[in-house]
């Protein structure tokens, strides 16, 4: 169907793409672990702040609590986005490995993978990389 040199080129491209995806998965896992650590740090600080505030009550405490809650909400959102991105990277890796090694799978499995890949592509096209109000998050972390 295709000329031999194109098939060789495609196979080499798949090998490079698999290598890139392995590094992307590693990077995403590292980012996910960092976000989890930040969430734990903010939760500990927030609980210490609440223990300290039990002794004294003020409007400043309420404002700080709102900021901590916003930071926690942002970090949890980042965690979910990284998990979705990790799933997408694993989907891409599975497709490339299937193509690289010529693994034969049932049609229903390939249909499911195609649907998941299509959904992931739509997600990636629509996701917003710019987060608003990151200045508050960076100040507290």
Domain ranges in the chain are 20-140
Q: 51: how many CB neighbours lie within 10 A of its CB?
A: 9
What does 100-114 look like in DSSP terms, one character per residue?
A: HHT----HHHHHHHH
85-111 pLDDT tens trace = 999 999 999 988 998 898 999 999 989
- 115-134 tens-digit pLDDT: 988 888 888 888 765 554 45
pTM of the model: 0.81
Mean pLDDT of 8-31: 93
CB 38 within 8 A of CB 79: no
């Amino acid at each position: 169907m295709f000329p031999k040199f194109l098939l060789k080129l495609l196979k080499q491209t798949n090998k490079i793409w698999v290598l890139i995806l392995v590094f992307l998965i590693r990077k995403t896992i590292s980012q996910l672990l960092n976000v989890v650590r930040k969430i734990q740090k903010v939760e500990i600080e927030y609980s210490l702040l609440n223990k300290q505030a039990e002794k004294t009550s003020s409007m400043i405490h309420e404002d700080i609590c709102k900021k901590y809650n916003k930071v926690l909400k942002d970090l949890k959102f980042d965690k979910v986005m990284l998990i979705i991105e990790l799933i997408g990277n694993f989907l891409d890796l599975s497709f490339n490995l299937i193509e690289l090694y010529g693994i034969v799978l049932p049609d229903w499995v390939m249909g499911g993978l195609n649907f998941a890949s299509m959904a992931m592509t739509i997600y990636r096209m629509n996701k917003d990389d710019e987060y608003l109000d990151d200045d508050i998050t960076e100040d507290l972390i």
